[in-house]
Structure formats: C-alpha cells, structure tokens
Structure 1
Amino acid sequence: MDFITAIILGIVEGVTEFLPVSSTGHLILATELLGYDAAKWSVFNIAIQPGAILAIVVLYWRTFWAVGAGLLKWQAESVAFVRNLLIAFIPAVVLGLAFGDQIDALLENATVVAWALIAGGVGILIVEKLAKTENVYGISGVSVAQSVKIGLVQCLAMVPGVSRSGATIMGAMSLGIDRRTAADFSFFLAIPTLTGATALQLYKHRDAIHGGDIELILVGAAVSFVVALAVVKAFMAVVTRYGFAPFAWYRIVAGAVALVWLNGR
C-alpha cells in the first residue's frame, strides 16, 4: 500500500507542480481525502520534488546549454538570465530560514489550503483581466527591479494552496511581462527554489527518514518526473490558447468543494 500511495502522490506532484494550482495544497488535500497519515507523508511530499525539477531540466536542456556556454564567454544575455533568477530566489531563502517553523505549521492545515485555492483563483482572474503585458524578450530581458518583485511575490506561496507557479506567473504579468516569459521565469525559478526547500526540509527531518523510505521517495520522484514532462508541454498549449482563466475557475471550484468536505466530514 505504501508503494501505491507513493505513486498516487507522485502523480499529484507531477500534475500540479508547474500549474498555477498549488502542488503542496493538492498533496495536503490528497493526504486528507485518502486518509493517509499526514505526518508520515509530509516529508515525502517535499522529497519527491526533485523529480519534477528534473523534468524542467530535460525539457529545457537547450536553454541550459546555451546559458552555460554564454556564461563561459561572459555574454550579457546569459549573465542577465542567471542574475535575474538568483535575485528572485533570495527573498524565499531569507523568509524560509526566518519563518520555517511557522511555514511547517501551515502545512498541516487543509482548511488554509482550501481558502488559499479560492483566493488565488480570484486573483488570477483579476490579473488576467487587468494586466497590460508586453513582450520583454525572454528572462534576460526582465529588469533587476522586476526580478526582485517576482521574488517577493513568490514568497506568498509559503502559504499552502497559494501556488508558487501561480504567484510568480501572475506577479510577472502584473509587472508587464508577457505570458510566455512569465511562465518560463516561473519554471526556471522553480529549480533553485524547490531544490533549496527540499534540501532544507530533508536536513531538518533527516531523523524521520529511514531505509525503506528511500525506495518510496525514488518511486514518487520518478513518477512525478514522467508526469511533469507531459504536463508542462500541455500547460503551455492551454495557456497560449485560453490563458490562465481555466486554472482560476478550477481553483475556485476545488477550494469550495474542499471546504464543504472538510467542514462536513
């Protein structure tokens, strides 16, 4: 049964990590809905994130190769690319270290997740309607000031249910950055952010991880990797054609259903 649980949670992680619907929120709700021991699986939910991260590395390997080659030559575009991501990453590091215990406490509250899903859905609809975006020609074209603001907005995702990708994408669009660049920025920013968060949580909870847990983590990470590969491609196709409104309405409905279920069980 543990392997089945690992597969299910791996699927949830792979589907939701890069969509603006909150992977952490969905993992918490899945744990509640299926009756799993939340304390037992909370570390697992974080430990399988590298699988989804690897999917981005594979899908965008040409970009990573080009940026790496450009850095060796100290090309302005590659330097700006890395600079912007590092700047946007810093606020999450500072707040994550300062308020780690409070953040961990929120991860145990499914009701917070439900309300955050609804609020985030409304926020996406507002940004989609009011944001005036223009093409900034890729991540390297994002300014330092915009990178700082995107990093600050990303910190809202420390509340489970907000969605890291949703916060960064909508934050970028509200700053005038076009949909495609906003989504790409969110994908690439996930690499240092999720890697850092995973490393910190695994270190903090290292005593809770035993030999048999490693196998489960590897299974969950592998499943999330395969699923995320397919989801990211489909996500960009949906966003290009329909925008982010479908995800906003999904969040509102899912949050409302979760509230009804949590209050009525």
Structure 2
Amino acid sequence: MSDMLSALLLGVLEGLTEFLPVSSTGHLLIAQHWLGARSDFFNIVIQAGAILAVTLVFRQRLWGLLTGLDDPANRDYVAKLAVAFLVTALVGLPVRLAGWELPETVTPVATALVLGGVWMLVAERLAERRGDVATVSWKVAVLVGLAQVVAGVFPGTSRSAAAIFMAMLAGTSRRPAAAEFVFLAGIPTMFAASGYAFVELAAAGGLGREPWDEVALAFAAATVTGFAVVRWLMGYIKAHRFTGFALYRIVLGLLLLALMPGQ
C-alpha cells in the first residue's frame, strides 16, 4: 500500500472516530499496526482536521456566541467554555511535560475500550435519573476540562466519551446539550495541542522530516469525514442513546485482547 493511500485511510478513520465515543486514538493506533506507524505530530494534526470540521458544523453557533456577548447567557456560556479549556491546559500541560501516560500499545487501549464501554452503559443510566437538563453549570465546565486530560493520559478512553458522560453525570443530562458543549470546548483544546506539537517539532528540527503531502491529505480527509459525522451524530443522539457505541467498544476491545494478546 502506498504511503499516500495509507495517509488517506488514516485521515478518514480519524474523521469517523474523533467525535464518536469510540476513541479515535485507539482506532488510529490499531490501524497503524497494518498501515504503518506515524509520528505524534501526524496524529495530532489530523485530529486538528477533525476539529476544523466541528468548527464548521457549529459556525453559526460560534458566531452567535462571539457577536452576542452583550447577552448574559452567551457571556456565561463562553466563560464556561474558557474554564473547560483552561482546566485542560493547566492540568494537561504539566502532565504532558512529565511524560505521564500509558503506553500506546494494544493491550491498554483494548482494556480502555472495554472499561469505557461499560462506564458508558452505567453512566447514561445514572444520568437519565437526573431528568432532562440542558443547562451547563460551572461544575460541568471544570469536570469536562478534567475529563479531556484523563482521555489524553489513557489512550483508548475517547475524549468525547469521557467528557460527554462526565457532563451528563455532573448535571447536563440532555445528550445534545452535553455533546455540543464538549465539542465546542474541544475546539481550542485540540488546536492548542496541534500548535504545541508543531512548536515541539520545529524546536527539534524535525519539520523537514515530516511528509507534508501526506499530512495535508490526511488533514483534509479528516475534515471532510468529521464534518459529515458530527452532522449525523447531533441528529442521532436527539432520539437515541449511546448504547450501540458502548457495545461496539466492548466487543472491539475483547476481540483485540483475544486476537492480539500481549501487544
């Protein structure tokens, strides 16, 4: 398989899985066992492509927030997005600098997929007992920020799953409202992560070693695919639970543990 085709497939896979609660990092890691390993920079940049997609999907919402700051409700929502991002940055950066994360190998990723699937089944049931709440509290904002850090430390957890279900358990029990807040909070988080990775690579003199044509192709593929997935998901969760995604995680994780033990 050519490197360009491999990059295209990885970009499509990133776009498909970044916003679904199934772990894009886990899927990319597993796919790279067959499609060839890629640099951390490649993986983070194509995640930024998926985040560009969510920016485009929510462009009207974002524009309304930015141009409507005279409205107290908009100011409150933007402030909570800022808090979620700051919590992720202030906690996540020291964690990254300390190098504290699980190895990106199949066994811990598969284990995280299984445990995360079970967590989703339990958490959604618990959240439903709170009634139908769409408001986002300061508590939700802080916990979403922390959930994003946890997902970064434990490959296979899924940033969207960890943050959405944390939001639902903390009070924003309505699925679309929780997902929207998490997706919007992820925009500055992932763009900042990509910028940080770029600076790291530049400082190490590695810019010339990156296959920029492949990075660009994967970025574009992730953006296009991610746009379609987010549009679909926001409609789907209005009337459906996350049960199917949870069961998929559990089955995939168990298959990986059975077929690729010790890897």
TM-score, reference length from structure 1: 0.90
Aligned residue in 1 for 2:96: 100
Task: Name the CA distance, whole Å, in 2 between partners of 1:12 and 1:59.
Answer: 19
Q: Does 1:186 align with 2:182?
A: yes
- How big is the shift at 1:235? 1.5
Per the alignment, in what secondary structure is the counterpart of residue 263 of structure 1? coil
Judge conservation of contact 1:17–1:23 (CA < 8 Å) in 2: yes
Per the alignment, in what secondary structure is the counterpart of residue 239 of structure 2? helix
- How big is the shift at 1:250? 0.5
Q: Compare the two structures and name the one with the higher helix fraction.
A: 1
Which of 130, 152, 155 is residue 149 of structure 2 equivalent to? 155
Judge conservation of contact 2:140–2:166 (CA < 8 Å) in 1: no
Residues 106-121 of structure 1 mapped to structure 2, 5 A cutoff: 106=102, 108-121=104-117
Judge conservation of contact 1:6–1:219 (CA < 8 Å) in 2: yes
Judge conservation of contact 1:9–1:27 (CA < 8 Å) in 2: yes
Aligned residue in 1 for 2:200: 204
- How big is the shift at 1:198? 1.3
Judge conservation of contact 1:106–1:160 (CA < 8 Å) in 2: yes
Task: Name the CA distance, whole Å, in 2 between partners of 1:167 and 1:133.
Answer: 18
Q: Does 1:129 align with 2:125?
A: yes
Task: Name the CA distance, whole Å, in 1 between partners of 2:110 and 2:252.
Answer: 8
Task: Name the CA distance, whole Å, in 1 between partners of 2:211 and 2:92.
Answer: 25
Deviations 1:59-103 (A, max 9, x none): 1111111111112xx321221121111111122212322121565
Aligned residue in 1 for 2:14: 13
Residues 43-82 of structure 1 mapped to structure 2, 5 A cutoff: 43-71=41-69, 74-82=70-78
Judge conservation of contact 1:157–1:163 (CA < 8 Å) in 2: yes
RMSD: 1.9
Deviations 1:100-140 (A, max 9, x none): 15657635322211110101000000011222344444xxx
Aligned residue in 2 for 1:233: 231
User: Judging changes above 3 Å, is the alpha-carbon distance between structure 1 residues 191 and 171 closer, same or farther for their aligned structure 2 residues?
Assistant: same
- How big is the shift at 1:264? 7.3
User: Judging changes above 3 Å, is the alpha-carbon distance between structure 1 residues 241 and 75 closer, same or farther for their aligned structure 2 residues?
Assistant: closer
Gaps of 5+ in 2: none
Task: Name the CA distance, whole Å, in 2 between partners of 1:176 and 1:208.
Answer: 44
Aligned residue in 2 for 1:175: 170
Which of 230, 248, 251 is residue 249 of structure 2 equivalent to? 251
Question: What letter is aligned with 1:31?
Answer: Q
Deviations 1:162-188 (A, max 9, x none): 010001110011112111110101110
TM-score, reference length from structure 2: 0.90
Report the identity percentage: 37
Q: Does 1:144 align with 2:144?
A: no
Task: Name the CA distance, whole Å, in 2 between partners of 1:205 and 1:212.
Answer: 9
